[in-house]
Amino acid sequence: MCWGLGGKPDASFQFPCKTHAALIFVEFEPFPHALRLHKKVSLFLNKMKSIKTIIKYIILIMMTMSPSLAVAEMRSDSYVINENVNHSFDGPIISGVSHSVSGLEVTVNFTTNVAANAFVVYDTDSGFSSSMEQGTSVIGSTVHSIAIKGLAENTRYYYRIRSKRVNGGETVDVTLRSFVTGSSVSSSTDSTKSGGGVLIIDKTDKNAPVISNVQLNIDGELGVVITWETDENATSFIEYGETIQYGNVNGQWDNAKNHSVIIRNLLPGLVYHFRPVSSDGWGNIGYGEDKILVHLGKTTVKN
């Protein structure tokens, strides 16, 4: 006697056990359903693999063609790394800060752990309520030396370091440091004997450069050229920013009477304050009037 599907002897089947078992296998309905389900699941998984491959190619194409996903290249002495510019980095680590004073000029030295730009923010107020800054926006070195000129004599200045690396990571050193400037160049005198007395002629220049004829012209889409004149040879700098406190400075130390400074990377739609600043060889600083410019793709000036 053969066993039925329930595991008990089944007297109703009159076939030999071998044939009976074959019939049970063929007539068992759940197995064909399971086989069809397995095939459907396998087909679905294969389709999902194809979809993942397609998505990968779409992402690669978007990264290649989209400006917002452009690739930036960073180099060191031993490697080259390509990073998506949307990745943000911590600011550089600032160390080894020191300064040296020579009359009215102070040199600030420091290092960063990666290539970065270098600025010294300084003010006679320890709260930096009306601070200025000097430095370079070039991101190309880890060793920095910034010469600060145009300072007042015998005056204490507070300063801190601001440094920014590629891809936007910026560090502002929170350590409050200070230096005291020396005296200006000693006055030269001519002594002329006349009768019983001595006539002393003071040749020290105590007059700041007079700034005039300030002009502004467009230089490309995101830049402006600011020109002005001074009545004596002096340096050429522009203070600018979104408020009357400015916060940014750009220019050069070359002495001239005709001055020209280019400001780039202004953001369209923003209002900027700016003024020219020139200092002569005696440390006298002349300031131009505050002016306002609005960048609308086409720059206009308001007084």
Question: What does DSSP assign to residue 277?
Answer: E
Q: Which residues contact 208 (CB under 8 A, 6 or more apart)?
A: 279, 280, 284, 285, 286
State the DSSP string of 50-103.
Answer: HHHHHHHHHHHHHHHH-GGGPEEEEE-SS-EEEEETT---PPPPEEEEEEEEET
Give the pair of three-digit tokens for residue 38.
């397995």
Please identify which residue in the block is written with the tokens 């145009």: 150
pLDDT of residue 150: 86
What's the pLDDT at 2?
45
Judge contact between 272 and 242, C-beta under 8 A.
yes
* Contact call for residues 249 and 175 (beta carbons, < 8 A): no
Model pLDDT, residue 101:
92
Sequence-distant (6+) residues with CB within 8 A of 131 are 121, 122, 123, 125, 245, 247
Q: Locate tokens 């080259």: which residue?
A: 80
Each residue's pLDDT expressed in tens, for the chain with a length of 303 residues:
444 444 444 444 444 444 444 444 434 444 555 566 667 767 766 766 677 676 766 666 665 554 444 444 444 444 444 444 455 678 899 999 999 999 889 999 999 999 999 999 999 988 888 888 898 888 888 999 999 988 988 899 999 999 998 877 899 988 889 999 988 754 444 444 445 555 555 556 778 899 999 998 877 655 789 999 999 999 999 999 999 888 889 898 889 999 999 888 888 888 999 999 999 888 888 999 999 888 766 555 555
Residues 6+ apart with CB under 8 A from 218: 224, 225, 298, 299
